[in-house]
Amino acid sequence: MTTREQWLDAALSLHRLVYQPEGEQVTVGRRDIDVYIVVPPDGAEVIRRLEEGRTPRETADWYFTEYGETLDIHDLVESLEECQFLRPPDAGERPPPEAVRWRRLGRVLFSLPVLLSFGLAIVAAAVAAAQKPDLLPRYEHMFFSSYYSISQLGLFLIGIPLIMVHEAFHALAGRRLGLNSRLRLDRRLYFVVLETSMDGLVTVPRRQRYLPILAGLLFDVVSIASMMLIADLTRTPEGSFSNVGRLCLAVALVSWLRVLWQFNFYLRTDLYVLFTTVLGLNDLHGVTKQVIRNRFHRLLGHPERVVGPDGWDPADVRASRWYAWLVVVGYTVSLVSFAWLVLPATLHIITGVAERFAAGTRTPLPELIDSAVVTAAALGQLAIWFALRARDRRNAVG
């Protein structure tokens, strides 16, 4: 018997795999390393039989009997090896699945009693805001201190833990399902970005994917509600906000901005991921961008620049008709947010700093130092922005 024939008659050892039907396809993969492939149902059944201990020859014979076609078992096994689905021949018995860390915490955090308490806090905050509109977000809430530099630094420092908990909610919502969702740090230019990797969502039923996708947004809304309630409960006897209350409203404002950011669909936010998951779409954003470009090319009389729909998913094309309007909504939200919060806050700082400098010696020294620090920070950011643009231009020319 040749080595090739011996290989065909020897059972293979596969890692523990998961199988998740998705329409006319099946997702197969390893959750421990987040490697997944999409195959037809017959291909998934072939892999399942190999995992159960049937030899390649037995599997190929079964496939021919079942479908009347010859299976290229050698090519299939090579593909499984490339995907790291095969274990070494001398690996011994397959170990039991490893327990997912923090799974219990995720189950507790998203249990029904906790979710109900979240809902009660949101309702209570909504009632309080309806009765006392000063709890609603406004740009003045950014300035919880009379010193601009302290307010700006405070908002920056506040934003870091809020982002971390936002992403942790995503991760824990995935871990409660047994997924190895991970937090990772990345750097974009001079910004540090915290991201959650939840590739394993493709291995759970679609209805179970919604909470992990929306978990971060849930935290943002709950944090807004909690901060508004604390600010309301800690008012002074005169009814104004205490120092703690002003700080809480600043925290709430940061979370409000992040909630508004979710509607910037063109940035593929959590809400965008939710739409594509609910509708089972593949590349809605990419298809929509090209559809919009094609419309402009036709309007401008350049039909030769129109890109055809070859390779596009028909579902993405159908959805692009209404998603194009959501892209417009996203840009509108960005402009409204800028005009409502960012622009007036910037003008407030500029006029305040100018008045302090204009007053000269009549301005207390701490306020002059504060104004100088804010001015230096703003000029430094502009210098960095211009330097990066100049570098990009040099790279483009080079």
Count Cα neighbours of 208 within 13 Å in the Cβ-side half-sphere: 15
pTM of the entire predicted model: 0.84
Residue 143's SS3 state is: coil
Q: CA torsion sign, 381 to 386 to 391 to 396? A: positive
CA distances (Å), origin 398, targets 41, 389, 393, 394:
50, 14, 8, 6
At how many degrees (to 10) do helices 243-261 and 210-233 cross? 160
Task: Give the helix, strand, coil percentages of the chain, each rounded to 5.
Answer: 65, 10, 25
CA distances (Å), origin 1, targets 12, 290, 360:
18, 57, 98
One digit per residue, the tens of pLDDT, for the chain of length 398 reads: 444 556 788 888 999 999 999 878 899 999 888 899 999 999 999 999 999 989 999 999 999 999 999 989 999 999 999 999 999 877 777 888 888 889 999 999 999 999 999 999 999 999 999 999 999 999 999 999 999 999 999 998 998 899 989 999 999 999 999 988 887 765 544 445 577 888 888 888 888 999 999 999 999 999 999 999 999 999 999 999 999 999 999 999 999 999 998 888 877 788 888 888 877 777 888 888 888 888 887 887 777 777 777 778 888 888 888 888 888 888 898 899 889 998 999 999 999 999 999 998 898 999 999 999 999 988 888 888 888 788 878 877 75
- Hey, what amino acid is at 334? S
The per-residue b/e assignment along 254-283, b for 16 or more CB within 10 angstroms, e otherwise, is bbbbbebbbbbbbeebbbbbbbbbeeebee
Domain segments of the chain as ranges: 3-82, 103-397
Count Cα neighbours of 221 within 13 Å in the Cβ-side half-sphere: 16
Token readout for 244 is: 């703690």
